[in-house]
Structure 1
Amino acid sequence: MAERGAFFGMTDERGVLRTSIAATLVISLLGIVFGLASGSFSIVFDGVYSLFDASMSGLSLIVASLITRHATSNRLPAILRDRFTMGFWHLEPMVLAFDGMLLSGIAIYAFINAIGSLLEGGRALEFDLAIVYAAVTVVACAAMAAIQVRANRRIRSDFVTLDIKGWVMSAGITAALLVAFCLGYAVEGTPWQGISPYIDPAVLAVISLVIAPLPISTVRQALSDMFLVTPADLKQHVDEVAQAAVRQHGFSAYYAYVAKVGRSRVIELYFIVPPDMPARTIAAWDGLRDEIGTAIGGEGPDRWLTIVFTGDREWAE
């Protein structure tokens, strides 16, 4: 029992993702079964959307495990360490971008199908089954989102953040479905019964339009990481530390190169040493590196820091 608790624990990134995948698969299967039984394409879409979300969470889990194992242990196979000597940080923005674009693409596809259904006269469905599914799913999605938000306050994982967005989106989708199904159930046997077949595709069209742009911010940030766009705040901080070191130790100049790749921070600092500067021991130069590294901060397995002292500017440019 203890091992299972750790495996599905909420104290680390991988445990949270495992728990999310298990919950998503259960909800996905429920959605597909209830959707087919009730005749609701919007519920089937909800289930399929959750299934794709679970597969993306699985991919995120694999990448998170590779990043963590490479940074904190030597248990990776030798062939992986030899071929990925700089780690697996670069895989994180790739997965986030692919995940966001895939989820948006699914929503756009669902919108097109919903419009086609509306033009064909809608579809009849069993509202009682649909209401039961929607009510249960809203509670489950809201609970998972709340649990993950609480866990991620300490973990601070981009993968978990994206997963939380997925749960919030699923809760919103299903809440809208619940309202629409209750409305459809209420108009049955009344003069308004004629709108009943249009409720399911109309709600699906609206929901699809709402959720399609939601992953855009995640995709934009992931693309920035992939293209090594320099974070302005990190660059400003590194410049301040480097300028202070130049003034304090009498260097001629410095060159700073900064990038964010997923959770990693890649920083390269080159200090130009005047030709007449007194010689120092290796221990003295290493001590200076430690001093500058401490001033930069963020020391840990996700910081890649290189500090070079040279008299030749060509090494720095």
Structure 2
Amino acid sequence: MNTEKQLLKFSVYGALLSALLAVVWGIVENSKIILFDGIYSLISVGLSMISLITASFMARQDFDRFPYGKEMIEPIIILGKFLVITILCLFALFSGISTLLSGGQEVNAGSGLIYAFIATLSCYAVHLVLKKKQKTIPSGLIDAESQQWLMDTFLSLAVLVGFLLSIGLGYTKYSHLMPYMDPLMVIVVSGYFLKVPITNMGLQIREVLDMKADDKYLDLCQEIVADIEKEYQFIESFLRVSKSGPKLFIEIDFVVSPEGWQPTLAEQDNIREEIMSKMKPISLKKWLNVAFTNDRKWAV
């Protein structure tokens, strides 16, 4: 598995198996938390399929319709994925509260414990595979899938802890509280995980709106531009950096003194090569545009 599409297919198959296991187990054992895990996994299958289709679409060149590339599609798709997860968490939260207020429900804690153990190990294994591969195949879609599986891992782990507590309650004088454990787990887990999709939606909105890139990219670009400005004694420079999916858009304008050294076309290209070479530590695709002018109004 060394391509983005293969990794996304791997995620789809893993999510499908996980969903079928959880839905069947949740229905048989009448457990809302297991069923919530299964529905989350089912939705993950659909979201992963969308990611797979997106990756295939983005891989096809279409300069006539997309002269700046298709990278903007990626943050839009990821934004949609996390929006769906947010809605799911809210639905589960209100469902858990409703069940809790109506007196809870009886659940086979022993069977639930076995499910939670299997689900936690399998989800974390898929997350580790995607996380490891993502280091060699930088992709926002793969990163989103990895985070999705990590959320499912913690969800399953929370279920595991909840069923352990439920079993423990059975051996105490508080055994009458056992029916409340299942809806309580739903409330705690769904409420806690709301922050993950909401935080990620904020990041994707920044990319869709073409806002400035993260400091880890911006700081390096600023350092490089400052060095070039000093080296060639330009009057000043203007830098604009934004990120869109796997591509970093970098626009640099140098204001050249009318009385000073005027770079020829060949010398301008050499400066561009120098800048691009210094940006090698940035693993993203780079769209670099470097302009030179004697009039500051064309740079502002």
Would you say same fold, with TM above 0.5? Answer: yes
CA shift for structure 1 position 153 = 3.0
Q: Determine the C-alpha separation between the residues in 2 that align with 1:167 and 1:84.
A: 32
Equivalent position of 1:313 in the other structure: 296
CA deviation profile, 1:196-215 (whole Å, cap 9, x unmatched): 32221111111112211123
Structure 1 stretches lacking a partner, 5+ long:
1-8, 70-74
Change (3 A) 1:199 1:245: closer
Change (3 A) 1:25 1:207: same
Equivalent position of 1:14 in the other structure: 5
CA deviation profile, 1:150-181 (whole Å, cap 9, x unmatched): 22232343333332222222122222323433
Structure 2 stretches lacking a partner, 5+ long:
none
Change (3 A) 1:29 1:287: same
Conserved 8 A contact 1:63-1:88: no
Change (3 A) 1:193 1:83: same
1:150 to 2:132 alignment:
yes
Conserved 8 A contact 2:33-2:183: yes
CA shift for structure 1 position 25 = 0.8
Q: Determine the C-alpha separation between the residues in 2 that align with 1:139 and 1:250.
A: 59
Conserved 8 A contact 2:248-2:284: no
The amino acid across from 1:138 in the alignment is T
1:204 to 2:195 alignment:
no
Equivalent position of 2:31 in the other structure: 40
Q: Determine the C-alpha separation between the residues in 2 that align with 1:29 and 1:292.
A: 51
Aligned to 2:257, what secondary structure does the other structure show?
coil
Q: Determine the C-alpha separation between the residues in 1 that align with 2:219 and 2:168.
A: 59
Conserved 8 A contact 2:138-2:284: no
Matches within 5 A, 1:32-181: 32-67=23-58, 69=59, 75-76=60-61, 80-181=62-163
Change (3 A) 1:118 1:272: same
Conserved 8 A contact 2:138-2:283: no
266, 269, 274: which one aligns with 2:257: 274
Equivalent position of 1:5 in the other structure: none
CA shift for structure 1 position 266 = 0.7
Conserved 8 A contact 2:90-2:190: yes
Aligned to 1:215, what secondary structure does the other structure show?
helix
Instruction: Count matched residues.
Output: 299
The amino acid across from 1:261 in the alignment is S
CA deviation profile, 1:14-72 (whole Å, cap 9, x unmatched): 222211111001111111111111111211111111111222222223333344x2xxx
Change (3 A) 1:298 1:90: farther
Q: Determine the C-alpha separation between the residues in 1 that align with 2:263 and 2:173.
A: 92
Change (3 A) 1:190 1:88: same
Conserved 8 A contact 1:97-1:219: yes
Change (3 A) 1:237 1:153: closer
CA shift for structure 1 position 280 = 5.5
Q: Determine the C-alpha separation between the residues in 2 that align with 1:207 and 1:157.
A: 28
Query: Percent identity among equivalent residues?
Result: 27
Equivalent position of 1:228 in the other structure: 210
Aligned to 1:124, what secondary structure does the other structure show?
coil
Q: Determine the C-alpha separation between the residues in 2 that align with 1:311 and 1:209.
A: 57
CA shift for structure 1 position 281 = 4.5
Equivalent position of 1:238 in the other structure: 221
Equivalent position of 1:261 in the other structure: 244
CA shift for structure 1 position 274 = 2.7
Equivalent position of 1:194 in the other structure: 176
Q: Determine the C-alpha separation between the residues in 2 that align with 1:280 and 1:153.
A: 39
CA deviation profile, 1:106-136 (whole Å, cap 9, x unmatched): 1121111111111111122344543342232
